[in-house]
Amino acid sequence: MQLAEKQQMLSLPSPSDYPFSRIRILDGTSFQVKKNTASYWDGVKIQLEYELYQGNFLHTLFYGPRDSDHDAAEELADTIGEEDLILRDLGYFSGDHFKKIDRAGAYYITRVPANMTYWTLDDKQRRIQIKPEEDAMHLAPGEIQDYGFIQLGVKGKNTFHARVVVQRLTEEQQKQRDTYLKERRRKGGAYPIRQQEESYPNSCYQYNTRRNG
């Protein structure tokens, strides 16, 4: 109830300000509880999707505490409409799912995991690997490098094209990240790949909007 009351107090953007029909934000959180019997879960993961224009909650999903965030992304795949903007974190990452978003005529923005590989083609159509994390080390704090649309993944059905942007964090942004990561480690919520990604002094994002989007 408190969350619902607070969201009514927010200043909401207008659809005329952005080229999207809806802005959909999906995130999840897990709760552990004492397990009294084998027939019940020892906790629950709640996935909540919020639509920013209207200020409404679109979906509330419940899973076991160790279920993947990707399960929620798949369950909601058929609800994605044309020109929706899908905002999700790393746990929902899937090359196949992003292809579904593309086919639906929708858009997405997400961070990219640290173990991702990036490719482009030279003038002779030979593949050249790109390393945004290394390139970002040569950027000034706050500076952004936009690679345009390049290939992500190694090979096979999980490869896809997306626009990739890397930003060198400012000192203040790095302090905020370090504080957040320290607190999550204290709670035991940091995973190796995500922990590695957040140790870099940069943020790397992928999305499928055009340069003027």
Asked whether residue 79 carries a pLDDT value surpassing 90, the answer given is yes
Asked whether residue 1 carries a pLDDT value surpassing 50, the answer given is no
Whole-number Cα distances in Å, 173 to 122, 131, 167, 170, 191: 34, 22, 11, 5, 21
pTM exceeds 0.85 for this model: no
Percentage helix, strand, coil for the chain under 3-state DSSP, each rounded to 5 = 30, 30, 40
- Examine the domain organization and report whether 48 and 136 are in the same domain: no
Contact criterion met (CB below 8 Å) for 5 and 24: no
Q: What is the mean pLDDT of residues 19-37?
A: 86
Could you say which of 91, 110, 129 is where a domain stops? 110
Q: Is the dihedral of CA 95, 100, 103, 108 positive or negative?
A: negative
- Examine the domain organization and report whether 137 and 160 are in the same domain: yes
Q: How confident is the model at residue 213 (pLDDT cuts 50, 70, 90)?
A: very low
**Structure-block tokens of residue 192:** 């190796």
Asked whether residue 62 carries a pLDDT value surpassing 80, the answer given is yes
- Examine the domain organization and report whether 91 and 165 are in the same domain: no
Q: What is the mean pLDDT of residues 39-59?
A: 89
Q: In what order do the strands lie in the sheet with 43-51?
A: 56-63, 43-51, 22-32, 84-87, 107-111, 202-207, 160-168, 144-152, 118-121, 127-130
Q: What pLDDT is stored for residue 14 in this prediction?
A: 67
- Examine the domain organization and report whether 91 and 125 are in the same domain: no
pLDDT above 70 coverage of the chain, percent: 79
- Examine the domain organization and report whether 103 and 125 are in the same domain: no
Asked whether residue 127 carries a pLDDT value surpassing 60, the answer given is yes
d(CA 193, CA 183): 17
- Examine the domain organization and report whether 149 and 183 are in the same domain: yes
Question: Would you tell me how many other CB atoms lie within 10 Å of the CB of residue 67?
Answer: 17
Q: What pLDDT is stored for residue 69 in this prediction?
A: 93
- Examine the domain organization and report whether 82 and 171 are in the same domain: no
